[in-house]
Structure 1
Amino acid sequence: MKKIVVLTGAGISAESGINTFRDADGLWEGHDVMEVATPEGFAKNPELVLEFYNQRRKQLLEVSPNRAHSNLVELENNFHVEIITQNVDDLHERAGSKNVTHLHGELLKVRSSINENAILEWKKDLVLGDLCGNKSQLRPHIVWFGEMVPMLDKAVEITQTADILIIIGTSMQVYPAASLVNYVKPYTPIYFIDPKPSVSKNAFNNLTIIKDVASSGTDELLKILITK
């Protein structure tokens, strides 16, 4: 069975009603990302940061996976599928995908401020005074700007094993995630799905661009891959 590796970004969740990470003006839900997505921002104003993610968590629990998420699950009937996502939502898992690696953390988890491996499932509000077992403040289990990406090595290993690479809803401009495409074997078929593709046809060997949103773009992808 051939192995498909899928790299997904904010565009695949947009049709579920989750806003993309940053607006054109650089703000995230009206906030400067440096205030709500950095260790320095958390140290300066932890209440603001915790409330920001509380609102994101509430929003996530109100939305559902869309057809693009379901289409990736359908691929598992014909391929071994591994998903590497930049998204912090759980929509891939809720749709039924079995193998999902989150590069940038998970919104429905929290972790100790002093031990990044002390991770808890969390679906309610997180407030000051919520402590881990070592009595340190819990924080969102999110990889903030300036922090290491602990799952990157695993993502590289997965990408190296791809027989087919699919990229959905990400501009491939955010590093280190954007570097993963460089780890596929030479001439591996690559499918890039985005309504405004940021790459040209000759950007990679064996590249197919599907200029469409994630749902209908993955509809077309299924026709291509499952009829081959």
Structure 2
Amino acid sequence: MATQGSVERPATHSLTWLWLLALGGLLLAWWTAWRHSRRLKEETERLARQQRVLKSAHSHLQRKSEELQHLSMHDPLTGTLNRQAFGNELRDRIDHLAKYNLPLSLIVFDLDHFKRINDQQGHLVGDMALALVVGLAHEHLVSDDLFGRFGGDEFMIACPGQAVPHALALAETLRKAVAARAPLADPPIPGLTLSLGVAQADPERGYEVDDLFARADAALYVAKQGGRNATVAADDETAAQVVPNSVRRHL
């Protein structure tokens, strides 16, 4: 009996150690897997944070790029297209319309006696006068229209697909709106009116941008010479009156 007991105890002891070794192996495997899982989770969170930072930086750069592009194309005071951007857009529209023999009307206008407003009421009121005119123009323009500032107090509106009668009606609406609203501004801007010249590009007159602008500019000159606060449509007679005695300007 003693001999049998001594044989069973080593066997039981060996089995216990095998279980302990197996359990230790399982614990080691679990701990290793847990460590690996934790490191993987930490790395995933780190990459997610890094991705958020990169996404935020990308959005910031994109906004800055859009802001710079907007500033490069728009007049900082009035928010309208600047001269270069307006000219580029106008050429693109005219090239497209020329393929289908469709018209485009151009309105060139400026503020009457703008220098006097600046001199008598100050440049701040002058800026307010520009803002008033631009705001009223936006009230009457449609999405296809182009609106730009040539420089100083001179602006341009292009109406793609529209003939002179439409542009004349728009110009007259704007002229009357400015004359009516200016005295009611805060502070009032008495005497603020517009002079406007209108010209059309079409198969008969051609689609050359500088010629279109010159004809509209000539009509504006006639409106100014006729007493201001008026709208004039370009024709051969207005061009003949102006071109020989003035320097042709270009977009």
- Same fold, TM exceeding 0.5? no
TM-score by length of 2: 0.26
**Greater share of strand:** 1
Structure with higher Rg: it is 2
Q: Which of structures 1 and 2 has the larger relative contact order (alpha carbons within 8 angstroms, sep 6+)? A: 1
**Greater share of helix:** 2
TM-score by length of 1: 0.28
